Amino acid sequence: MASNLLPLTRLTARLRFLRSGFISERWANSLRGGLGYSLKALYCGADFQDCRPCPIKDGCAYGYLFETPVPSPSEVMKLYTFAPHPLVVEEPAERAPVVIEGEEVDFSFVLMGRALNYAAFLTRALERLGHKGLGRDKTPFELTALFDQSGALIWERGRLIAPPSAVNLSFAPEPSRKSTLFLRFLTPLRLKVGGKISSAPEPFDLVSSLTRRLFLLRYFHGDGQQTDWPSVFFEAANEAMVLKRDFIWRASERYSTRKKSTTPLSGVTGSLLFVADAGVLAPLFRLGQYVHLGKGAIFGLGRFDYGENYDG
């Protein structure tokens, strides 16, 4: 089994707002929508409302990042229209829905596999979005800096300093070791179990969903391999012993101006404390902190922190 899953990076953009205004109750929705509109306006080579019939959709920055069609032919997800997006937009932590003139706000987005090649496209789209304005009040901003995974400054005020560095985290199981594991969900987790969104997911639910997501991300955006995931992951998840659950249901939805309809974003936040084989499961959870879990990841949902030997 290959030691690396796929390259990825978390880029952090610093925005300075040029006017006070209302942005959104959920920043990730506005940022994702604004980025998509700006990217399509800049780089769309056709005038299709729906990307599916577009003959160049597979080579388009907007189509690849925001629509992500299943390529033809494909050995995986043949009956699906869209593949998992190689982009996750992460909203600023604990942000008020309003900004004041001169305020600086940092937000992050994660690029996976071949999507790293589109970092410059997203940077240009952010600049354009700043001129058009963000959120309900179309509040203008200036993109002042962009930092890569390591915290290094890679872009500043229209000047590219260096390409973003990537991280390759191994998904290979490590030597077996029992430990207390802690997952804290920072944004609502929409994990479908038994046909509905779970209000109390078990460790096995989390592991099985995460392994599928990582497999698909690698297949569509990495090296295209269909390496089977070893049963040891599922065995370790089945043997996990839950010590404490602290989940809270968060009701939310978003309105799509393109589709003229609302999309549910409700899910659980909170934490899960359990004893398990950390040697086996730690590689998955380390990757999961980047790719997120469950439905709506591109909107920043399913973001979590992972830790071991929690003694709180």
Measuring CA to CA, how many Å separate 293 from each of 75, 224, 303?
23, 21, 7
Rounded to the nearest 5°, which phi and psi values hold at 283? -60, -40
Give SS3 for 284: helix
pLDDT at 233: 92
Q: Which residue has the higher pLDDT, 110 or 259?
A: 110
Give SS3 for 188: strand
Q: Environment class of residue 191 by beta-carbon count within 10 Å: exposed (0-12), middle (13-18) or buried (19+)?
A: buried
pLDDT in tens, 167-225: 888 788 889 999 999 999 999 999 999 999 999 999 999 999 999 999 899 989 988 77
pLDDT at 172: 81
pLDDT at 263: 77
Q: Environment class of residue 78 by beta-carbon count within 10 Å: exposed (0-12), middle (13-18) or buried (19+)?
A: exposed
Q: What pTM was computed for the model?
A: 0.90
Tokens 């604004």 -> residue: 34
pLDDT in tens, 94-133: 789 999 999 999 999 999 999 999 999 999 999 999 999 9
Residue 25 is classified by DSSP as S
Give SS3 for 161: coil
Q: Yes or no: say if 202 and 273 are a contact pair by the CB < 8 Å rule.
A: no
What is the DSSP code string of 39-101? HHHHH-SS--SSSTT-TTGGG-HHIIIII-BPPSS-SSSTT-SBPPPSEEEEPPTT--SEE-T
Domains along the sequence of the chain with CATH = 8-160 (3.30.70), 178-308 (3.30.70.1900)
Taking the C-alpha atoms of residue 271 and residue 245, their distance in angstroms, rounded to an integer, is: 6
